[in-house]
Chain A
Amino acid sequence: MRTLMQRLGEDVRLKEGLHACMSCGICTAVCPAAEYFEYDPRSIVVTVQSGNEAKIRKLIESDTIWMCGQCMSCKPRCPRNNCPGLIISVLRRVSQETGAFVKSRLGRQQYLILKTIGTNILETGYCVFPASVVPETHPEQGDVWRWIYQNKEAVYERVGANLDKEGPGAMRKIDRENLNELERIFAESGGNSFFSTIVKFSRAYAKESGFTDADGEPDMEKYTDFLLNEDNDEK
């Protein structure tokens, strides 16, 4: 079996992101996540650099790697040309491939993201579309968005968009042929199997945690509900 370090090393982004860290803290200094979480990109890089399997295992099972916001503010500053943000992408990938992500609250949320963004992408060809930004779950979007949401057709038409219609233009409908292409790209390049892996481990965790239906099969609706309400207080 491949070690975690081998798995990490197979991703070209590790070669791009990790040269040698001297622990100067220039990344943590401007990291938007370090300010609000018990999180320190510097120490993550130090752990990966150590190559210690047990420590890396612990890392990919923890909440920590999910705290990065991928803003890459660390990238232009590092005096050794490392990119902690990129290293974290690689850790997250391995965490999902190996099922380690379900061991942490923030990691488990990947299932939620898959169900929203992943579904959006495959079904519409967009990461977001107006109907997906539901005012009830997006109160911060405010009253103007609520009005737009309720009057989608008229508003988008007024500003020259092409909402859900054929042809080019903003928010046009992506036709079946293009969506098929998208699906085939996902199938060919490992996107689909990555999705399935996330689902597989999430289902197993749901079952293990007692989110099951009458037949003892995982009840993913219950599980989703659990994830949405899982305690968000920082421990």
Chain B
Amino acid sequence: MTEKRNIAIIGAGIAGQEAASVLAGLGYKVTLLEKQERMGGMLNKWSKLFPDFSSSQQILDTVQVSANKNLSVICNADISSITKENGRFELSDNSSLKVYADLVLLATGYNLFDATLKEEYGYGVFENVITSVDFEKVHKSGKKLTTLLGKEPRRVAIIHCVGSRDAKSGNTYCSKVCCITGVKQAIEVTRMWPDCEVFNFYMDLRLYGSKYDSLYLEAQKHHKVQFIRGRLSEISERQDKGLQLKAEDTLQGRPLRMNADIVILLVGMEACEQNADLCRNNTLDLDENRFFKSKNIHYARNISTQPGIFMAGSCICPMSVNETLESSRSAAFLVDKSFRSVQVEE
């Protein structure tokens, strides 16, 4: 019996690392490939997590893997091609790197929506317009959120669905985690500045997770966060660099104009652009939202359309941290199961 035990995992965010540690623990030879200099992926950009304000660093530390006899980690490896020859997968980047594996696990994660594409919101033009990720950076630094001129904001508006549920951005799906992020960040703003008014502009509040709705209640009850049902139509800059917002208060059926000192855009999750590259020369496929397509979205979520390639985390669809970790373990289980069934057949 030939031992087929080599697994390549693309992406060393929390999904890739969690799967790597499970599979290495089961005795497989795992190669973890990361395109950045360091592991951790997108979660490195976050400060605190919903719904409990725990530190994202704590999660990063918990899932952190280090190389051992079963696990090797290669950073700066931007894999752009997967081919299968003689029953083996060959992974290569644009330089000379080649990695061979019996099975591949995709954990390539997501990209953040580029908010400059929503030109009507003026991100990149008006300096008091920031994204949810910019806010996390401020929060992580331990500083307080201030206006461009260093002043305490009197009013902050948080905009839901930026680059999500929007044909104009080419993303018609829901990014799922933005609503609860908006509620979390609203509370964080009022914790920084108790006198600051915070308004969330939403279309539907999709607070699906456990404890998410109670965070919403807490935001209203203890932090006076206000919610306006209406998609923001435009932001303009005023002479004092303050911002003017226009939306409809759809629950009243009246247009609304508001000034705000800072606007936070809740940018959605997009599929990575490299996904399309990875689909060349194999039967991997993308879904209508450019994420990797599952063989079946109910019972084979982690199984791709190419036999031997599995998927974990938010390269399948937008996911929260806990869903990502569960998805990784589920993928690891399926990888293990796949090896076992091959051996039984042989």
Direct chain A–B contact by Cβ atoms under 8 Å:
yes
Seen from chain A, the residues whose Cβ lies within 8 Å of a Cβ on chain B are 22-31, 34-35, 40, 42-43, 76-81
Report chain B residues within 8 Å CB of A26.
230-233, 247-248
The interface residues of chain A, by DSSP majority, are classed as loop
**What residue in chain A is nearest B119 (Cβ atoms)?**
A76
Q: B residues 116-142 with Cβ under 8 Å of A? A: 120
B168 in contact with A25 (CB, 8 Å)? no
Report chain A residues within 8 Å CB of B248.
25-29, 34, 40, 42
The yes or no answer to B234 lying at the interface (CB within 8 A) is yes
A29 in contact with B168 (CB, 8 Å)? no
Q: How large is the interface on B (under 10, 10 to 19, 20 to 34, 35 or more residues)?
A: 20 to 34
Q: B residues 253-283 with Cβ under 8 Å of A? A: 253-256
Q: How far is the CA of A156 from the CA of B232 in the complex (A)?
A: 47
The yes or no answer to B203 lying at the interface (CB within 8 A) is yes
Q: How far is the CA of A124 from the CA of B206 in the complex (A)?
A: 58
Q: How far is the CA of A34 from the CA of B233 in the complex (A)?
A: 14
The yes or no answer to B4 lying at the interface (CB within 8 A) is no
Q: What's the nearest-Cβ distance from chain B to residue A61, in Å?
A: 20
Sample of 9 more A-B contacts, CB < 8 Å, known A24-B203, A77-B233: A25-B230, A25-B250, A26-B232, A26-B233, A26-B248, A34-B248, A34-B254, A77-B234, A80-B167
- Select B247's contact among A25, A35, A76, beta carbons within 8 Å: A25
Report chain B residues within 8 Å CB of A40.
248, 253-254
- Select B231's contact among A31, A79, A81, beta carbons within 8 Å: A79
Q: What's the nearest-Cβ distance from chain A to residue B276, in Å?
A: 24
Contact with A along B236-247 (1 / 0, CB 8 A): 000000000011
B234 in contact with A79 (CB, 8 Å)? no
B246 in contact with A30 (CB, 8 Å)? yes
Report chain B residues within 8 Å CB of A76.
120, 168
The yes or no answer to B323 lying at the interface (CB within 8 A) is no
**What residue in chain B is nearest A73 (Cβ atoms)?**
B233
Q: What's the nearest-Cβ distance from chain A to residue B204, in Å?
A: 8
B250 in contact with A81 (CB, 8 Å)? no
Q: What's the nearest-Cβ distance from chain A to residue B65, in Å?
A: 40
Report chain A residues within 8 Å CB of B246.
29-30
Which one of B165, B229, B233 has the greatest number of beta carbons of chain A within 10 Å? B233
Report chain A residues within 8 Å CB of B161.
79
B253 in contact with A30 (CB, 8 Å)? no
Q: What's the nearest-Cβ distance from chain A to residue B232, in Å?
A: 7
Q: How far is the CA of A28 from the CA of B168 in the complex (A)?
A: 17
Q: How far is the CA of A28 from the CA of B229 in the complex (A)?
A: 12
Q: How far is the CA of A179 from the CA of B59 in the complex (A)?
A: 78
3 nearest A-B residue pairs (beta carbon): A25-B248, A29-B233, A24-B231
Report chain A residues within 8 Å CB of B256.
29
For this complex, 9 residue pairs linking A to B, each with C-beta atoms less than 8 Å apart, are A28-B254, A29-B256, A42-B248, A77-B120, A78-B168, A79-B166, A79-B167, A79-B231, A81-B167
Q: How far is the CA of A28 from the CA of B250 in the complex (A)?
A: 9
Report chain B residues within 8 Å CB of A35.
255
Report chain B residues within 8 Å CB of A24.
203, 230-231, 250
A29 in contact with B234 (CB, 8 Å)? yes
Q: How far is the CA of A8 from the CA of B247 in the complex (A)?
A: 29
A34 in contact with B250 (CB, 8 Å)? no
A29 in contact with B253 (CB, 8 Å)? no
Q: What's the nearest-Cβ distance from chain A to residue B243, in Å?
A: 15
A34 in contact with B203 (CB, 8 Å)? no
B231 in contact with A25 (CB, 8 Å)? yes
B233 in contact with A30 (CB, 8 Å)? yes
A42 in contact with B250 (CB, 8 Å)? yes
B234 in contact with A81 (CB, 8 Å)? no
Q: What's the nearest-Cβ distance from chain B to residue A86, in Å?
A: 16
Q: What's the nearest-Cβ distance from chain A to residue B242, in Å?
A: 18
Report chain A residues within 8 Å CB of B167.
78-81
**What residue in chain A is nearest B168 (Cβ atoms)?**
A79
Q: What's the nearest-Cβ distance from chain B to residue A21, in Å?
A: 11
Q: How far is the CA of A43 from the CA of B248 in the complex (A)?
A: 12
Report chain B residues within 8 Å CB of A43.
253
Q: What's the nearest-Cβ distance from chain A to residue B14, in Å?
A: 31
Q: How far is the CA of A79 from the CA of B246 in the complex (A)?
A: 15
Q: What's the nearest-Cβ distance from chain B to residue A55, in Å?
A: 16
**What residue in chain A is nearest B166 (Cβ atoms)?**
A79
Report chain B residues within 8 Å CB of A29.
230-234, 246-248, 255-256
